[in-house]
Structure 1
Amino acid sequence: MNHKYSLGNFYEDLYPELEINHATPRTVTEGDQSMYIALTASRFPLHCDAEFARSIGFKRELVNDLLVFHIVFGNSVPDVSLNAIANLGYADVRFGVSVYPGDTLRSVTKVLARKESSKGDTGVVWVKTIGLNQHNEEVLSFIRWVLMAKKDKDIKIEDSTLIQTPNEVKSDQFIIPRELDLKKFTSRATGGKWFWNDYQKNERIFHVEGIAIEEAEHQMAARLYQNTARAHFNAYSLKDSLFGKRVIYGGHIISVARELSFNGLENALRILACNGGTHSNPTFAGDTIFSFTDIIESIDLPSDDFGALRLRLIAVKNLDPMKEEVDIKIEKNGRSIYHPSVVLDFDYTILMPK
């Protein structure tokens, strides 16, 4: 019988050099922006204040950088990670040309490498995904690696390889928005008191508030991103899984933690890059997310108007880091592991006025 449905790709199907043009391009609308704000409480004015955006050179408000990331990422899920056990990490994430409401985004993925597990029942696959707009301009690119289920655990795959992902996106690789003009920038819209020059290496900023994530909210978020991964939706089939229930999409944790960072980083404009990210522990409905940021580096760019800050954003669940000290990593059985309350370790770089 010819079954007219797809079960998605498994480890065996994702071989090195495979290139996939993903279906379902997405025209991003004002409604998408509003829904994203409703689900994350985003307050960065570049993404919700058209007059502010115009005052610094843009045509209108921009689509939130992380919403762009989630849409491009989500577009790749049916072909890459529908059968994923876990999304393990990101590297070399570069944000490209500005995305405006009305732009149409599509995604292309190339498989870079794969490595079968020692047991032979799973494997890790490394892929690079590129997001393009309707003009074929690059809006985003990233590498991620995924722990994949195998279709047939008894068949050994012999082409296991490893790749070395970049540790950082260099400053000469940043794409500064061509529209940006900060000559008329004021902090009236942001409310921010601190600028690029005011942040010091190794400084820690607590973002104060916590946000509880409910079951309906995280599923609506994954649907907004058109992320079809079973781990976020299929409660029935997940009863016999490792956790026995739905897991919140890790990218949504990035969004919630980053939007909390508005308190302390109000004058942040674009995200330029993500150098690496780890979803260190799972998050479930009912968990409350707090976040804090460590300043890794101030990067002076060839401009009198702006510079870049490399930041380490840490998200923790069900623990207020302002009231209870939390070690990001702890020792267990002679190994360094993430504290069980730490759910995200996200190294990224932002653009900020001087």
Structure 2
Amino acid sequence: MTTDPVNWPLIPRGTFFEDHVVGRVFDHHWGRTIHASDNLTFSTQTLAFNPVHFNRAAAKAAGHPDEVINPLLVFAVVFGLSVEDLSELGGPFLGATDVTYLRDVYPDETVYASSTVIEARASETRPDTGIVTWHTVGRDTAGQPVIEFHRTNLVRRRTSSTELLAVPDGYAEDFTVGARFRHARSRTITDLDLNGLTLLVMNSAPGHFSEQEMADTAFGERINFGGLTLSLTVGLATQDTAGQAVRELGLDDIRFPVPVKHGDTVGAATEVLAIDPLDGGDAVVTFRHLGVNQRGEIVCQTTRRVQVRRRAAEQPAAPTASSSSLISTES
């Protein structure tokens, strides 16, 4: 297999128009706990100055037990939970109807989402896409609905050059020592990183947030805090390596060969180094993660040890090397 991570097999994310058959149900696999801090940030940043969303006394005076989570935040979270399965591969959000708030949501509640395809038709103006409408429901931990809505998107069609490969669930059996793969998502570095996130973690090195300090250096401009480059590299890899993680055990061999600057886009690639069974059924999986910029340069590397669940005997078998090149050691 090639040693250049840019050419490693890609673990895909998202679905195509052809995957959306009327009646198909998607149970979106993540849930999201909504905190009071989420509610305050969302409400103030969207200028939603209804006091029941950020003033506990006002909320209680209105008959609520606590501040009420802004229902548009509930909508956005439930919508967001559905994106990976429904619309991540691209196609504009065309609109939503029948958005119904079925009950109030309060801080520290967890919501889950599921969607049913209710209509799928070809686009008359864009032959490379179709138009899909889903009925999405957000539920609490007891399974009771808290919100429902219909939303419609353009969704890309599958072409002869695109193939949606099997995606591992993240159990220990889904990984093979020596396997190498790229992750589908990437992220562009912005001022949120150079200023906001650097200062959030109280890193006071001015080279990350002061242009004046860096103007006469060899870099000529601000550079991203290495800890954030590391966090982004690992974060991008978790989409395919942490689905059944129990706990993070540690990192080693952290290096930053090339600095990351404003406007750089960072993606990630992973190699499986070791799988060590534990008493009790779990395993420790050791990964090597690489952060790669838009020029194909490695900007970060690290090894990471994670305790991962093993698949229970009654669950479906893990994908095999013959069914998915993602876990094969051959290119």
Task: Provide the TM-score with structure 1 as the length reference.
Answer: 0.42
Q: Mark the structure with the bigger radius of gyration.
A: 2
